[in-house]
């Protein structure tokens, strides 16, 4: 019986580790050298971060978390400027129906003529909007973002390896528990050390070589992102920079955090 558990553990370990290796190879192939600075990136109301010239708040958000992160950033930006109201129940309400840039105008269009819409629906509409795709296309053209269809899914592959490591441990425990009382269990458990070492070793290498596990930015794009603790430009709210880089959990305003989390962010 323990051979069946060992076979399942080994197959899961090998397949998950192979997926990480494949994702790493794909990422390396499509991540080119550091790109030339963009000649004139489209302005956004948050301007560029002072530590990385030419990288706007929208671009930071996209490189860190994709179009959904960008949608969260523009919603919070407009809420901080009292032009949107984000309720803790997950609804967005228009206060000032004037957009200052193409992404803000797309946000107002996504909310609709009624002036109120659930945040998940607004986010979904923004992800597919031409204004957000224009930000993505500009980053892809500059070699900072991974093109659609070529994202390696490193984050998902690493999660799969973690699950495989847990499966190995559970399989070993099941083998030990189901073994007859007079059986030699030490040798059987020793075989489970092989897939466990493979998965844990892969996780260690991935943490050292591939972290942060991004599915949006190329290596050059990761280098353009501000380091943790870097000062923001005067035109950029520190909370917006933290949101762009780390997601809704980085927000210090409990009402905004509740609005995004209640909406499924």
Least confident of 14-23, 40-49, 64-73, 211-220: 40-49
User: What CA–CA distance (Å, rounded) separates 202 from 49?
Assistant: 35
Q: What is the pLDDT of residue 119?
A: 93
DSSP reduced 3-state for 129: coil
Lowest mean pLDDT among 6-15, 41-50, 90-99, 142-151: 41-50
Looking up tokens 């919070």 gives: 76
Q: How far apart are CA 239 and CA 10, in angstroms?
A: 45
Q: What are phi and psi of 231, to 5 degrees?
A: -70, 145
Residue spans of the domains in the chain: they are 2-30+154-209, 57-149+234-262
Kindly state the tokens that stand for 84.
């949107």
Q: Report which secondary-structure segment, H or E, holds 85.
A: strand 84-86
Taking only the tens place, the pLDDT of each residue in 77-133 is: 999 999 999 998 889 999 999 999 999 999 999 999 999 999 999 999 999 999 999
């Amino acid at each position: 019986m323990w051979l069946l558990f060992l076979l399942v553990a080994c197959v899961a370990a090998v397949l998950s580790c192979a997926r990480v290796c494949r994702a790493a190879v794909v990422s390396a192939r499509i991540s080119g050298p550091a790109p030339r600075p963009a000649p004139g990136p489209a302005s956004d109301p948050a301007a560029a971060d002072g530590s990385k010239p030419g990288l706007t708040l929208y671009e930071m958000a996209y490189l860190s978390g994709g179009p959904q992160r960008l949608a969260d950033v523009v919603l919070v930006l407009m809420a901080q400027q009292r032009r949107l109201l984000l309720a803790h129940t997950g609804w967005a309400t228009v206060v000032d129906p004037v957009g200052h840039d193409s992404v803000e105008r797309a946000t107002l269009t996504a909310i609709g003529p009624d002036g109120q819409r659930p945040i998940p629906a607004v986010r979904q509409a923004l992800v597919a909007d031409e204004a957000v795709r224009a930000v993505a296309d500009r980053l892809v053209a500059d070699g900072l973002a991974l093109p659609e269809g070529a994202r390696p899914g490193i984050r998902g592959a690493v999660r799969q390896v973690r699950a495989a490591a847990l499966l190995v441990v559970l399989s070993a425990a099941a083998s030990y528990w189901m073994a007859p009382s007079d059986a030699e269990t030490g040798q059987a458990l020793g075989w489970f050390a092989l897939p466990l070492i493979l998965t844990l070793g892969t996780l260690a290498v991935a943490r050292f070589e591939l972290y942060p596990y991004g599915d949006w930015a190329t290596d050059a794009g990761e280098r353009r992102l501000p380091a943790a603790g870097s000062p923001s430009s005067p035109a950029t709210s520190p909370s917006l920079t933290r949101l762009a880089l780390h997601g809704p959990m980085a927000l210090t305003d409990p009402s905004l955090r509740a609005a995004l989390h209640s909406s499924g962010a």
